[in-house]
């Protein structure tokens, strides 16, 4: 079993749609959680950290369920510019440690 | 502010040749990470350094791969001899780890696109 698993995608959605990505992680000792975004042929960039209480940043909402070892990302009112691959990322350490990346879910927002 | 700087951006070479990838982390960052990304395997951590010391090299594929960080502002990843299966995008990332503060995000360089013929 992979340490971090994501929806396979690709997700093809119209502009304005709401889309949700799911991610599960295998190690219950995981401490830090993130969503990264990667555009085609570009480097990954941090989209947002994921906190236990859930957090929102504009159109983006991240949720964490430690009991189920599940992370989600919700994008509301999707824009063409949201088209990218979204990477679920987990770190087993609270300080230091290494990031474990999921395979990513590709999102394509169409006009 | 300058981000993570990697060089070269692209490298095409024949198998058996030595390849050296370079990385300059963001000034003040004390953790540096080398990743490899392929379609088949996604993004994999090869090795990471904290305060110039290698902490975890379990992701380094084999003895043909080596990495060094002689000082806080420079790191190299070397492949010798190179093989076609080493073809991938290699990313360097850096972050700041501060005492017991929660992990800070990693900032990635543009990557080196490596093709071994």
Spell out the residues 6+ positions from residue B41 whose beta carbon is closer than 8 angstroms to its own: none
Band of residue B103 on the pLDDT scale cut at 50, 70, 90: low
**What are the tens digits of pLDDT across the range A67-89?**
999 999 999 999 999 999 999 99
Higher-pLDDT residue of A107 and A54 is A107
**What are the tens digits of pLDDT across the range B65-77?**
999 999 999 999 9
Residue A83 structure tokens: 């088209």
- Tell me: pLDDT of A41 over 60: yes
- Tell me: pLDDT of B101 over 70: no
- Tell me: pLDDT of A65 over 80: yes
Regarding beta strands B31-38 and B107-108, do their DSSP bridges make them parallel or antiparallel, or are they unpaired?
A: unpaired
Residue B65 structure tokens: 């791969």
Residue range B43-63: mean pLDDT, rounded: 90
Instruction: Measure B46 CA to nearest chain A CA, in Å.
Output: 10
Count H helices, E strands: chain B? Answer: 0, 11
Query: Which residues of chain B are within 8 Å of residue A104 when distances are taken between CB atoms?
Result: 42-43
Cis peptide before B8 (omega within 30 of 0): yes
- Tell me: pLDDT of B102 over 60: no
Chain centroid to Cα B70, Å, comes to: 14
Inspect the interface and report whether the beta carbons of B102 and A98 lie closer than 8 Å.
no
Q: Which pLDDT score, from 0 to 100, does residue A97 have?
A: 66
Q: Which residues of B touch A (CB under 8 A)?
A: 31, 33, 42-45, 48, 50, 55-56, 91, 97, 99-103, 105-111
Identity of the residue in A31, A34, A103 whose CB atom sits nearest the CB atom of B42: A103
- Tell me: pLDDT of B86 over 90: yes
């Amino acid at each position: 079993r992979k340490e971090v698993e994501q929806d396979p995608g690709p997700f093809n959605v119209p502009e304005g749609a709401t889309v949700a990505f799911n991610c599960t992680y295998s190690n219950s000792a995981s401490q830090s959680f993130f969503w990264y975004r990667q555009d085609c042929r570009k480097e990954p960039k941090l989209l947002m950290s994921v906190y236990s209480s859930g957090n929102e940043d504009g159109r983006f909402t991240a949720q964490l369920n430690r009991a189920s070892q599940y992370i989600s990302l919700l994008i509301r009112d999707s824009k063409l510019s949201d088209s990218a691959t979204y990477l679920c990322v987990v770190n087993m350490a609270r300080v230091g440690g290494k990031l474990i990346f999921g395979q990513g879910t590709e999102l394509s927002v169409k006009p | 502010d300058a981000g993570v700087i990697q060089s070269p951006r692209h490298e095409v070479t024949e198998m058996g040749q030595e390849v050296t990838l370079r990385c300059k982390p963001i000034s003040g960052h004390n953790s540096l990470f080398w990743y490899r990304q392929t379609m088949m395997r996604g993004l994999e951590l090869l090795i990471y350094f904290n305060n110039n010391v290698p902490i975890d090299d379990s992701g380094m594929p084999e003895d043909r791969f080596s990495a060094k960080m002689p000082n806080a502002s420079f790191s190299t990843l070397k492949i010798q001899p190179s093989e076609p299966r080493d073809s991938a995008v290699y990313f360097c990332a850096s972050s700041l780890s501060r005492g017991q503060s929660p992990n800070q995000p990693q900032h990635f360089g543009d990557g080196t696109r490596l093709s071994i013929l």
